[in-house]
Amino acid sequence: MIINIWLNGRQLTREIEADLLLIDFLRNNGCYSVKRGCETSNCGLCSVLLEDKPVLSCSTLAARADGKHVYTLEGLQPQAEEFGSFMADQGAEQCGFCSPGLVISVLAMEKELNNPSDEEIKEYLSGSLCRCSGYMSQLRAIKLYLDRKGAQEYERN
């Protein structure tokens, strides 16, 4: 079948198999930031934005993204660098294999939650597993990042 996807702002028309998963479509089209960590929808490594919402690209048929906007980190480099530098300053990325999925979810959280508490942050991101960091450094990075964004917002107003 043929699908049209707006991938990172660019329209792509591709012939695909009906059971192609979005993760494989994305990797086949050069989006290597999208990682696979399990087959059971548990790890969150494959998270991408589908119509601005974070979804598991391993559990989404590419066919279902037909006509829709998909963003991966390849299309969000300035945002990834901005938040990522807070991660880097904590050493929170460690092996980095789960980082792209986490970054996607943090960017989505930032839009969805206003001034979240620690518990709200943890809950929003609980579908992004990490085995290296023990999560604390990520929480530090996220809070510092949100604080700075908040301060910038405040100054602008």
Partner 1 sequence: MVSIERFVRVKSLAEAYELNQERMNTVLGGFMWLKMGNRKIENAIDLSGLSLDTIEETGEEFSIGCMCSLRTLELHEGLHHAFQGVIREAVHHIVGVQFRNGATVGGSVYGRFGFSDVLTCLLALDCYVELYKGGIVPLHEFATMKSDNDILVRIHIKKDGRKASYQSQRITRTDFPIIAAAAAKKDNTLFISIGARPGKASLLIKDDCLLDENSADDEIAALAEWARDQYKYGSDIRAGQEYRRHLAFVYVKRALQEILRGVTA
Partner 2 sequence: MSAIDQPVRKKDAMALVTGKPVYTQDIAPKDCLVVKLLGSPHAHALIKEIDIGPALQVPGIECILTYKDVPDSRFTLAGQTYPEPSPYDRLILDQRLRYVGDAVAIVAGENEKAVEEALDLIKVQYEVLQPVLDFRRALDHEVIIHPEENWKSLAPVGADNRRNLCASEEVEYGDVDQVISECEWIIEQTYHTKANQQVMMETFRTFTHLDTFGRLVCVSSTQVPFHVRRILANAIGIPKSQIRVIKPRIGGGFGAKQTAVSEIYPAIVTWKTGKPAMIIYTRRESFTSSSPRHEMEIRVRLGADKEGIIRGIDVYTLSNTGAYGEHGPTTVGLSGHKSIPLYGKVEAFRFGYDVVYTNVMSAGAYRGYGATQGCFAVESAVNELAAKMQMDPVRIREINMVRQGQVMPAYYGEKLNSCALDRCMAKAKAMIGWDDKYPCKDMGNGKIRSVGVAMTMQGSGISGVDTASVSIKVNDDGFYSMSIGATDMGTGCDTSLAQIAAECLDCSVENIIVSGVDTDASPYDTGSYASSTAYVTGNAVVKTCAALRQRIKAEGSAQLGCPVEDIEIDGEKVYRVDTDESISLKDLANGAMCGNSNALSATESFSSPVSPPPFVVGMAEVEIDKETGKVDLIDYVAVVDCGTVINTNLARVQTEGGIAQGIGMALYEDIKYTEKGQMVSNSLMQYKIPSRLDVGTIRVAFESSYEPTGPFGAKSIGEVVINTPSPAIANAVYNGVHVNIRELPITAEKVYMGMHKEK
Contact positions vs partner 2 (CB under 8 A): 32-35, 37-43, 45, 72-74, 77, 80-81, 83-85, 87-100, 103, 122-123, 125-139
105 contacts 47 by C-beta, under 8 angstroms: yes
Candidates 56, 73, 92, 142; binder of partner 1 (CB under 8 A) is 56
Write phi, then psi, for 14 (nearest 5 degrees): -140, 145
Q: Which residues is 15 bridged to in the sheet?
A: 2
* Closest CB to partner 2 among residues 4, 59: 59
How far apart, in whole angstroms, are the C-alpha atoms of residue 108 and residue 47? 10
How far apart, in whole angstroms, are the C-alpha atoms of residue 118 and residue 138? 11
Residue 15 binds partner 1, judged by CB under 8 A: no
Residue 98 binds partner 1, judged by CB under 8 A: no
Residue 33 binds partner 1, judged by CB under 8 A: no
Residue 124 binds partner 1, judged by CB under 8 A: yes
